[in-house]
Amino acid sequence: MTYKPSPIDTVTVRLPRKILRLVELLARNAHENWAEQRLSEGWKYGKRRDDIRQEHPCLVPYDELPESEKEYDRKMAVETLKVIFGLGYKIEKDLKSDRKR
């Protein structure tokens, strides 16, 4: 059997400018979740990925990632947001719930 990915078509979806501000936050959070999962599975930092030794060079804070890795996370965030909007959902910020980070 040959797998052929078929993601939701988002080519025509344009994200509102204010939503684009979420991209970096979502990308950073995706990395943090990925790293937390890997660490909980016993992975640790290593200069090269080694599945046997469970070492990975991206087990570092987001700000220390190579730009190519950050861009991967940003692309996933953008595509997720585009799917949300493309399916007719809206995202609104509740100003009363603003929390300092």
Structure-token pair, residue 30: 């995706």
> pLDDT tens digits, the chain, 101 residues: what are they?
899 999 999 999 999 988 888 999 999 999 999 999 999 999 999 999 999 999 999 999 999 999 999 999 999 999 999 999 999 999 988 877 666 55
Supply the DSSP string of 11-35, one letter for each residue: TT----HHHHTHHHHHHHHHHHHHH
| CA angle at 10 for the pair 8 and 13, rounded to the nearest 5° | 145
Q: Which residue has the tokens 């979740």?
A: 33
